[in-house]
Amino acid sequence: MNVTRRQMLILLPAAAVAWESVLAGTPEEAPNYKLTEHWWSMLIDIPKCIGCGNCVRACQAENDVPVGFFRTWVERYHVSDEEMTNPQVISPDGGKEGFPVAQEDGEKYFFVPKLCNHCADSPCTQVCPVGATFISPDGVVLIDPKYCLGCAYCVQACPYGCRYIHPEKKVADKCTLCYHRITKGLTTACCEACPTGARQLADLKNPKDPIHEFLKTHSVQVLKPQMATGAKVFYNELDGSVR
């Protein structure tokens, strides 16, 4: 084979590019979903939550959450005028079957649905000694069950109490923001089942997502902002007594 110097100079970079693509391996299976085009979060509209527990049941059905453990749960706050900083919080069975009826006593009651905050700078991912938990390029904190040792460092590190050790698998487990659903264009099971729209999945990288307008026009907070976790579950009209 006779190759001139000119041809050689053209062929070399071409070969390099070809070799790069071989090294990179086969392209991903889902061509429509691009990891870098999303940054997932959730919006929780406190004034809309009625404490029906639909989200808790939906989450358990969708994700086979073991009985007695919760990837999402609902808390009911009862704040009296005298003790603003010492609210009474109940969450019977995670709010799965609703809440006992509260009698009108002129005091403040409200529901707070909780789940993994999918923090951008999460303490849980930083303490994992084996790289089993991580934040994906699209902003979801996930656990690799094949790598997890079950040491529970992350369970202790989460300031929101969102993680548990799965009683059968003996690995850490938590909300995946229904990653298997949102990557297929569906919303999460909890948002799907919420009858009042109190929970909304939001994509911060999508300029057309109504979250942007909502964040600009409402009083929105995250839980424990002083922890600087970069929490991405936004609460509308969150009361100061919520911890």
Partner 1 sequence: MSVFKDAGHLFRFAGLFVLAFLVFLVVRQYIVPKSFGQYGHYRGAAIDEIAAHPVKYAGHDSCETCHADVLDVKKAGKHAHVNCEACHGPLAKHADDPASVTPVLPDTAVLCARCHTASAAKPKGFPQVVPEDHSTGLPCQTCHKPHSPGMEAGGAK
Minimum CB–partner distance for residue 6 and partner 1 (Å): 37
Nearer to partner 1, 2 or 168 (CB): 168
Q: DSSP string of 129-194?
A: SSS-EEE-TTS-EEE-TTT-----HHHHH-TT---EE-TTT-SEE----SHHHHTTT---HHHHH-
Give the whole-angstrom CA distance, residue 164 versus residue 139: 21
173: left (phi over 0), alpha (psi -120 to 50) or beta: beta
Q: In the window 209-238, what residues touch partner 1 (CB under 8 A)?
A: none
Q: In the window 170-199, what residues touch partner 1 (CB under 8 A)?
A: 176, 179-181, 183-184, 186-187, 189, 192-197
Q: In the window 80-99, what residues touch partner 1 (CB under 8 A)?
A: 97-99
Using CB under 8 A, pick the residue from 2, 6, 27, 29 that binds partner 1.
29
Other C-beta atoms closer than 10 Å to the C-beta of 96 total: 18
By CB under 8 A, tell whether 5 contacts partner 1.
no
Q: In 35-73, which positions are buried (b, 16+ CB within 10 angstroms) versus exposed (e)?
A: eeebbbbbbbbbebbebbbbbbbbbbebbebeeebbbbb
By CB under 8 A, tell whether 54 contacts partner 1.
yes
By CB under 8 A, tell whether 58 contacts partner 1.
yes
By CB under 8 A, tell whether 79 contacts partner 1.
no
By CB under 8 A, tell whether 117 contacts partner 1.
no
Contact region for partner 1 (CB under 8 A) — 3-11, 53-61, 159-167, 224-232? 53-61
Residue with token string 């919080």: 89
By CB under 8 A, tell whether 111 contacts partner 1.
yes
Minimum CB–partner distance for residue 109 and partner 1 (Å): 4
Q: Could you tell me the CA-to-CA distances from 68 to 54, 57, 95 in Å, in that order? A: 16, 12, 11
Residues lying near partner 1 in the complex (CB under 8 A) are found at 25, 28-30, 33, 35, 47-54, 58, 61-63, 76, 78, 97-99, 101-105, 109-111, 131-134, 136-137, 142, 144, 146-147, 176, 179-181, 183-184, 186-187, 189, 192-197
